[in-house]
Amino acid sequence: MASTPVILLSKRTGNSSDRPDTSTVQAGELALSFGAAEPGLYFKDSAGAVRKFGPNHYGSSAPNSSPVGSTGNSVGETWVDSSTSNYYLRVWTGAAWQKVGAGFADSANTANSATTAGSANTATVANSAIVASGVAVVTTLPSAINGSLVYLNAGASGLYVSANGGWILV
């Protein structure tokens, strides 16, 4: 018996910055944007928001700043901002792009310890919880300082960013 392969295709586009609209996808449905400048895999969550699962955006302007499709960004979406000589990792909080982790290094060449990572390029310890050159692995979330980045290795494990006085699982 000869078999015929079956090809299943999700909603897709090759246009850059062409994100699906909430009215064009169903909850749990996948949509793919394979445009080379801003690729990503999207799905609609149970709250009706379209979420991006895909590569970190790298560039001098925020992702989806010139949308072809739906406007806006997904909570937890990341961007390496190369618009200045200091590159910053930023995470979309739902309201604004928040600098995170070692990306806070704005001034001063060295510091052995800092209460915030906002004033040291090569801080060894920032807020006693985050090593500014990387991401701390913790078993409980420390006091939130906006822009902190930690990996929780217990309970609801995952990468967390602090914003607006609390922690957001990204």
β-pair type (57-59, 40-44): unpaired
Q: Which residues pair with 111 in a beta bridge?
A: 123
As to burial, measured by CB atoms within 10 angstroms (0-12 exposed, 13-18 middle, 19+ buried), residue 155 is: exposed
Coil, strand or helix: which one is 59?
strand
Chain segment 60-110, per-residue pLDDT in tens: 999 988 888 888 888 888 888 889 887 888 899 889 998 886 444 555 444
Q: What is the structure's pLDDT at 115? A: 47
Cα 113 to Cα 77: distance, rounded to the nearest angstrom: 29
Is the pTM higher than 0.85? Answer: no
Length of the chain: 170
